Structure 1
Amino acid sequence: MINFIAMEAWVEFAVRWVHVITGIAWIGSSFYFIALDLGLHRDRNLASGADGEEWQVHGGGFYHIQKYLIAPSQMPGDLVWFKWESYATWLSGFAMLVLVYYLGAEFYLVDPEVLDIPIWGAILISLLSLSIGWLSYDWLCKSKFGEDNTRLMLFLFGVLVVMAWGYTQVFSGRAALLHLGAFTASIMTANVFFIIMPNQRIVVADLKAGRIPDAKYGKIAKQRSTHNNYLTLPVLFLMLSNHYPLAFASEYNWLIASLVFLMGVSIRHYFNSVHARKGSPHWTWLVTALLFLAIMWLSTANLPGEADMDAEATGPSAKYAQAEGFAEVQDIVLGRCSMCHSAEPGYEGLHWAPKGVHLDSARGIAQNAKAIYLQAGLSRAMPPANLSFMEDGEREAIRRWFEAAGS
């Protein structure tokens, strides 16, 4: 018999793996080319007509790299394009969004205590926000307002702050920060797909036709690449935030996300300055540390109170609380899991529930039914090292209960 819950978990694992691999490839190439461009020696009169050059060493070999501001006099036949890393990262990321947040919307996307909306409505808001975000950003970049890049970046930061706050008014905390990351990543990939690559194709076509390419296309592409460079680190933080409840479950999660963007700017400013041989602005690390300390403080300020032990499950998760065997499973979970997964963990060294998962109420157990089934029923991942001595019969009871709720 095929266990479709386990199969779904493996599909999520595979897609996540692809997302991580392609993300590493995209971020690696992006960081490399920005560092290369900033580090070029442009004070040399090169016979090739190139705008700048740099010598590098890696893996036992030496590389002589030259950059042409518009294009070389003759187009090489083996030109390498860097694009699929970006496209594959976004496609696999969107697949994760569908698998985890759309198909599991009742657990991860919609929080009735934030906004009680139907699942289809939440998904529609998610899709519209991602597309409208790119359209608005692209319009700003192409407008007169966007001609001043510093002014544009400051305004875009304001937009990101507003989006951070807006997402937290619609989705669960976990989904809000994830969506802010997806919102930003969608802009980055759209920059590659709609601006950078088409502009490069225009230059190549002009060169092949014997025309002198217009330098504006390279200038526009570089602007978008620079934006991507400064947005990368915040996106990584936001994509990882779903593993850290102190980031997404705080009352000030939108402010935490906003400060993360400033940390990304301060870190990138340091490395970009070093690569461009403009000194080593060590003050950026102090700024980054202070921002991170502010985030740490905000994450624990005014933590919301927890539901009491008698809280009942509502909404889609209610079926698990009503399923045959729930009373037995509740006793098992309270005895084997709640010493860690509670508002005030009783296990020495723990100050808050791991991953923000609370299993000290009927509501908490029902809302985390799938995770309990996968980690304590189908596998022995929980309790870790079986510290609370969960017995095989108890794991079997968990499997019977979950499968009864789904039948």
Structure 2
Amino acid sequence: MSILRLHPGSDKLKFVEQVMTINPTLSEWLNLIFRWVHVFAGIMWVGTTYYFTWLDARLSEEEKAVANTGMPAQIWMVHSGGFYVVEKRKVPDLVSRTLHWFRWEAGTTWLSGLALLIVMYYIGGGAMIDPDVKDAVVACYQQLLGGRLNAFFDLSLHYYWFVIALGCVTFIGGWLVYDLMMLSRLRKNEKAFAVIAYMLLVGITYGLTRVLSGRAAYVHVGAMMGTIMAANVWMRILPAQKKMIAAINEGRKPDDALSAQAKLRSKQNTFMAVPVVFIMISNHFPGVTYGERYNWAILAVLILVGWVAAKFIRRA
């Protein structure tokens, strides 16, 4: 939206872009509260994700070790003054059992992250827009798509709303593309999937750094991966688990494909988590990350480093 204002020292009315605003003190408190919730919920989510990844790997080793003994695979652990035994069952007896779900960590992390993104970047728009980047984009737009289109939609007057819309499209589009890839045959070739996903990530990173400020571009790449992770949990993993539970309660054998689907998406969440956490802390190091001229290339390399690190962490 644009409004007419009389500029100081001028007798002419000029269109000026109008943006959302908020009381600075309120903004500071919301920033603090949402960030606190977001970080703590993220710790719980990533912690449980990696814990179950480790647990599943160890139980798989135990299953091979007791394959011909008829004994169930078990893991013994010691923590906080107690001993714990964990056993994996593919077809458990769920009658009169309390089943503990791990889902709200993901939902709370995503919702608090979205709230933080709105308060920090979308309200006011100062952190979203780099004036030099905006001028370059507007000049390119006017040169390539000027004339009648520019008269219909003057990008210089609507750039604030344009970048917000772009951010929303990044989240939704990122999830849709990822999910379509996962529903295709490509998911059966993990190496090819990883290469294509990485190339798309690099392309998105480069594109965002050419439209948003460096810091906003980094955050939106991280938010896109966080959205994919949360959507994996709520839209694919949990529904698959509910179908498996329904099958057991009805006396049917659970579909192994549902289990494999949930496991693969959970595995990919562990790989995305490492670069997402890096992006969260990169705000404190602008000189070597988003503030650099080749900020997109730096993030591209560090995403790759994060994936390699995740591979070793998963084996620890």
Supply the distance in 2 between the matched residues of 1:235 and 1:134 (Cα, whole angstroms). Answer: 15
Q: Is the contact between residue 75 and residue 87 of structure 2 (CA under 8 Å) also seen in structure 1?
A: yes
Match of 1:24 among 43, 51, 58: 43
Q: Does residue 120 of structure 2 align to residue 100 of structure 1?
A: yes
* SS in structure 1 at match of 2:129: coil
Q: Is the contact between residue 178 and residue 241 of structure 1 (CA under 8 Å) also seen in structure 2?
A: no
The alpha-carbon distance between structure 1 residues 46 and 57, as it changes in their structure 2 partners (threshold 3 A), is farther
Aligned position for 1:198 = 239
Aligned position for 1:71 = 91
Q: Is the contact between residue 71 and residue 203 of structure 1 (CA under 8 Å) also seen in structure 2?
A: no
**Residues 43-80 of structure 1: CA deviation (Å, up to 9, x unaligned):** 21498875x32111111111111112x33144552100
Match of 1:264 among 296, 302, 306: 306
* SS in structure 1 at match of 2:86: strand
Aligned position for 1:54 = 75
Alpha-carbon RMSD: 1.8
Aligned position for 1:229 = 270
Q: 4+ residue runs of structure 1 moved beyond 6 angstroms?
A: 46-49
Q: Is the contact between residue 174 and residue 242 of structure 1 (CA under 8 Å) also seen in structure 2?
A: yes
Supply the distance in 2 between the matched residues of 1:75 and 1:101 (Cα, whole angstroms). Answer: 49
Match of 2:133 among 108, 114, 117: 114
**Residues 90-130 of structure 1: CA deviation (Å, up to 9, x unaligned):** 0000001100110031x110223113451111100100111
Q: Is the contact between residue 50 and residue 314 of structure 2 (CA under 8 Å) also seen in structure 1?
A: no
Q: Is the contact between residue 22 and residue 85 of structure 1 (CA under 8 Å) also seen in structure 2?
A: yes
Q: Is the contact between residue 75 and residue 204 of structure 1 (CA under 8 Å) also seen in structure 2?
A: no
For residue 20 of structure 1, what is the amino acid of its counterpart?
Answer: V
For residue 96 of structure 1, what is the amino acid of its counterpart?
Answer: L
Q: Compute the displacement of 1:35 (Å).
A: 1.0
Supply the distance in 2 between the matched residues of 1:56 and 1:223 (Cα, whole angstroms). Answer: 25
* SS in structure 2 at match of 1:54: strand
Supply the distance in 2 between the matched residues of 1:224 and 1:49 (Cα, whole angstroms). Answer: 29
Q: Is the contact between residue 286 and residue 292 of structure 2 (CA under 8 Å) also seen in structure 1?
A: yes
Supply the distance in 1 between the matched residues of 2:91 and 2:160 (Cα, whole angstroms). Answer: 50
The alpha-carbon distance between structure 1 residues 20 and 35, as it changes in their structure 2 partners (threshold 3 A), is same
Supply the distance in 2 between the matched residues of 1:186 and 1:74 (Cα, whole angstroms). Answer: 32
Q: Is the contact between residue 54 and residue 315 of structure 2 (CA under 8 Å) also seen in structure 1?
A: no
The alpha-carbon distance between structure 1 residues 140 and 76, as it changes in their structure 2 partners (threshold 3 A), is farther
Larger radius of gyration: 1
Match of 1:140 among 165, 178, 181: 181
* SS in structure 1 at match of 2:131: coil
Q: Is the contact between residue 15 and residue 92 of structure 1 (CA under 8 Å) also seen in structure 2?
A: yes
* Residue segments in structure 1 that go unaligned for 5+ positions in a row: 275-407
Supply the distance in 2 between the matched residues of 1:76 and 1:138 (Cα, whole angstroms). Answer: 35
* Residue segments in structure 2 that go unaligned for 5+ positions in a row: 1-21, 139-154
Aligned position for 1:44 = 66
The number of aligned residues is 269
For residue 82 of structure 2, what is the amino acid of its counterpart?
Answer: G
For residue 272 of structure 1, what is the amino acid of its counterpart?
Answer: R
Supply the distance in 1 between the matched residues of 2:116 and 2:71 (Cα, whole angstroms). Answer: 46
Q: Compute the displacement of 1:169 (Å).
A: 1.1
Q: Compute the displacement of 1:147 (Å).
A: 1.4
The alpha-carbon distance between structure 1 residues 167 and 48, as it changes in their structure 2 partners (threshold 3 A), is farther
Supply the distance in 1 between the matched residues of 2:97 and 2:47 (Cα, whole angstroms). Answer: 25
Aligned position for 1:183 = 224
Q: Compute the displacement of 1:170 (Å).
A: 1.1
Q: Is the contact between residue 205 and residue 218 of structure 2 (CA under 8 Å) also seen in structure 1?
A: yes
Matches within 5 A, 1:323-338: none
**Residues 118-168 of structure 1: CA deviation (Å, up to 9, x unaligned):** 111110010011101000000001101221122211211111111111110
Higher RCO, 1 or 2 (CA under 8 Å, sep at least 6)?
2
For residue 101 of structure 2, what is the amino acid of its counterpart?
Answer: W
